[in-house]
A and B are shown apart, each in its own frame.
Chain A
Amino acid sequence: MSKDDLILKAEELHKYYRMGATEVRVLKGLNLNVAKGEFVAIIGASGSGKSTLLHILGALDKPTKGVVTFEKRDLSRFRASELNKFRNRMVGFVFQFYHLLDELTVLENVYLPAMTGRSVIGWLACRRQAKNRAKELLAQLGLAERIRHKPYQLSGGERQRVAIGRALMNEPRLLLADEPTGNLDSATGNGILEVLEKLNKAGQTVVMVTHDERIAQRAGRIVTLVDGKIEHKNHKHSRNEQQ
């Protein structure tokens, strides 16, 4: 893989938390490369730091030490406004518990990222276009009939598909999914994985965190997180870690 193919690179990532008098070291010098168009699954036991890593990669959290570069740009050098723009335009998050806003309809939840990134005038100018894009996404996700519903009127699988729609609204370069099937039964979870696979086949870079190896098998590459680092394995997929 050439350097130009990399979309995301994490170098020597450390993350420490202070819990009372004790310092908890979650990540201990982790390295990870993600190429454009890859579908990477990060697996690890509960508490191994998978979600922390995902949050750092998506600029929701900052590492204690180490560097994350996104398309060759160091995230730690981003100003607050640039980080907000990065989260709005470059990455899309899918969470285990969907995290939809109950006060908004399905359609509004999906086009919310398009609204938040714009001024009132900017939004009024592109409103129709954004709504159409949201409707299109919802149709692709099989939710065309549900656009006026509120999240609490949907099943878990439907809510997660709405969350995927919201994550894709601004056509992000990177989709980060934190246990996207963790709260769903296996049939529904399978449906969500199919959506992610389909997206990946269409060129979308996906980084997914899961504790379930069977789910991880659906990804193009699996990296295992053990003791705050990526574990070296003779896995068919794990070719980029700890280089």
Chain B
Amino acid sequence: MRLYFKYMSILFKSQMQYRTSFLLLCAGQFFVPFAVFAAMYFLFERFGGLPGWTFHEAALCFGVIQMAFALAECFVRGFDAFSNLIVRGGFDRLLVRPRGTVIQVLGSNFEFTRFGRMLQSAVVLGIAVNGLSIAWTPAKIITLLLMIIGGVVVFSGIYILAATFCFWTVQGLEVANIFTDGGREMAQYPLDIYAKWVTRFFTFIIPFGAVSYLPLLYILGRADGPDLLCMAMPLASLLFLAPCLAVWRIGVRHYRSTGS
């Protein structure tokens, strides 16, 4: 764990060398999702609302998912950018070190410019919380945090799966974008507005639903099931992560028997 922080600090120092570029990219990372948020706002303005959801409720959902995405993009960047690493022979370098591959890949890259997106998500969450009249209890706050963490876990799992594909096809899979960018675009709206099969897929297979839907209902005070279940739902994301890591190990084994 300490090693992870050491990796982080060396890469932070690295990226800070290019200050202007960093700040500009950060700004970009703020405005791009902000444009999407603006779109949401304009659409709500024109249509008056979504079936069963007000603007501020949807904004809460939006903020949570965007924050989870930003955190994942920042801290799990090593897997997201894995195709770069492997193409430049960097993975061999990792294999020659006496540490596990996962921790080293995680430590190989951080994208601190995603702070811009994190800031944007924080702003959105602020707007949402401000516009909603929720009785905030410690339990609800914990749930909110768990939602974000759960989201990070889900995105991380997808990144790991996508990175594993790099072992087979040199360029990795753009398909992963469907689930990361696509997943984000989709999950940022409350899940029940979508067709049944979408909701089901994104609850049971890639569990965004567990992370953003049920706990959201709980926070808004509209949950059906037992409170504790709704609160703990985000932990289901760990069930998704485990098989992703297993697939990663298979990928590493394949790389080591076929070379780069």
Task: Decide whether A and B are members of one complex.
Answer: no
The residues of B with any CB-CB pair to A shorter than 8 Å are none
The residues of A with any CB-CB pair to B shorter than 8 Å are none
